Structure 1
Amino acid sequence: MSLRLPESLHAQLREMARKEGVSVNQYILMSVTERMARSEDYFAVRAARASAEKFDAALALVPSGEPVAGDELP
């Protein structure tokens, strides 16, 4: 995968990777993996709080009416 970064950000990545003792590629891989794990935790916590009752209550707040042109179901 090719990624274009501003030189200033690339320089920061190089320095952070150097401090961690890894390559820039390895540092990016670790960072992306960590971020994805936090996202999965976030969604798991949100999903655990969900319920059909809360979903129905949220839908009840949506005003009825015709969809905006182009948003119709096929």
Structure 2
Amino acid sequence: MRKSNFPLRLLPSLAEELKRVSAEEGVSVNTYINVAIAEKLAVRQTAAEFFAEREKGGSPSRALEILEMAGREDEPEPEGSDELLEA
């Protein structure tokens, strides 16, 4: 596996917390940072895939139709709506 160096500047408070937490986890600061970055990138990739999949089924014209209906007074309120009930 190819490795590279990357200069990282942290706020002193973050650096101290990072040292404390990585020691609690029983790993080096370097390992902790690598795992944290891998987790963040995985979340980002998962979100991108999720929204790309959702976009496939989307219809801009249908979305506009729905938005045009929003707030119409002639539309019945769905049962269990969150409007306040008058006593």
TM-score by length of 2: 0.59
Q: Give the ranges of 4+ consecutive aligned residues of structure 1 lying more than 6 Å apart after TM superposition.
A: none
RMSD over aligned CA atoms reads 1.9
Match of 1:14 in 2: 19
Unaligned residue ranges in structure 2 (runs of 5+): 1-5, 65-87
SS in 2 for 1:3: coil
1:54 deviation in Å?
Answer: 3.1
Shift of 1:6: 1.1
Does 2:79 match 1:38?
no
Structure whose alpha-carbon radius of gyration is higher: 2
Number of aligned pairs? 57
Higher relative contact order (CA 8 A, sep 6+): 1
CA deviation vs aligned residue, 1:30-49 (integer Å, no higher than 9, x gap): 00000100111101100001
Residue ranges of structure 1 left out of the alignment (5+ in a row) = 59-74
Q: Deviations over 1:5-48 (max 9, x none)?
A: 11110000001100110010100000000010011110110000
